[in-house]
Amino acid sequence: MTIPTLPGIAPRTVTTNRLTTRALFSGPDDGAPVLFLHGNASSATWWEETMAALPAGWRGIAPDQRGFGAADFSAKIDATRGAGDWADDALALLDALGIERAHLVGNSLGGVVVWRLLADAPHRFLTATVVDPGSPFGFGGTKDVLGAPCFADYAGSGGGLIGAPVVEAVKTGDRSLENPFGYRSGLRRLVFKPPFVPAREEELLSASLSIHVGDQAFPGDKTPSPNWPFVAPGLWGAANALSPKYVSEAVPRLLAAQLKPPVLWVRGSHDLSVSDNAAADMATLGALGLVPGWPGAAIYPPQPMLGQTRVVLEQYAAAGGHYRELVIQDAGHAPFIEKPDEFNALFHTFLTSSRETVYGIR
């Protein structure tokens, strides 16, 4: 599927020592590099407006990450590495482009990759901007701000939580609004704050439907569990890679890293995808009676995703780093699309002030 790009956005196939994929570029080749990492069920397409709006002298770079878009379908996500495959792919892309240090931006799943990159290779990044990022402890099955699992096997996280109707909608390329399990409905209800409808909804929907489908891709495998909701993470695919079982191991290294680039955390006030009561959290669904057998809040409370992120960033700051949390009102999970002027004002100020006073460029 070929997705049209905006003026000023140049698509290119890039082959690294890890992955062949499509990457989008904006700005001059010698501009200050900004690496954009997209979220789950999306692709680099989601960053086009933000890239096109970068100030003069900045170079935007956005790859289709492993498991999405035009990335090589044969390159699978080893979930047991958490965000490791995506992080290593990002570093390999910078190497292939001859970029030593870059500014880093991630939304949702891309934010989880940012946490991993700051743990593994903080010396490669000048700043980090996370936009409605996944918790540093991953998605699902944890009960407190320190990421403690509800059950030892991390039941309630991973690919087994994705319902068959959602998988079928992706397989058939369902673009209807009527299907409550389809991605158009999901974008309008769960990603963007109603009644917002993006101008490039068709392109964004095409990007969402470009997620790779298969036994080792979407929705991923699963492991039966004796614990509610009776499924634990498997070994392959994005949903399993985001399980706290695999993601949370990077948190101590993130906090222990000697170099700590400054972090800007921007989130929408009405984000239903990443919150302290997220719409897809099994505890949220269980409390509503939509998933039978919920054991109650004492055993399986909603994951405090915002609280977890805030605690980790407070520890990051206490260990020598710096972060700032900013909320964009009346926006959902993608404020860079919903409120671009407001987002860009915050983002550009962070980039330019960091360029002048924190590290310098190149």
Express each pLDDT in 172-216 by its tens digit.
Answer: 999 999 999 999 999 999 999 999 999 999 999 999 999 999 989
pLDDT of residue 354: 78
Mean pLDDT (whole number) for 242-253: 98
pLDDT at 362 over 90: no
Express each pLDDT in 68-86 by its tens digit.
Answer: 999 999 999 999 999 999 9
pLDDT at 325 over 70: yes
Q: What is the CATH number of domain 10-149+244-357?
A: 3.40.50.1820
pLDDT of residue 165: 96
Per-chain mean pLDDT for the chain: 96
Express each pLDDT in 278-308 by its tens digit.
Answer: 999 999 999 999 999 999 999 999 999 999 9
What is the pLDDT confidence band of residue 264, given thresholds at 50, 70 and 90?
A: very high
Query: Full-prediction pTM beyond 0.85?
Result: yes
- Contact by Cβ (8 Å): 108, 274: yes
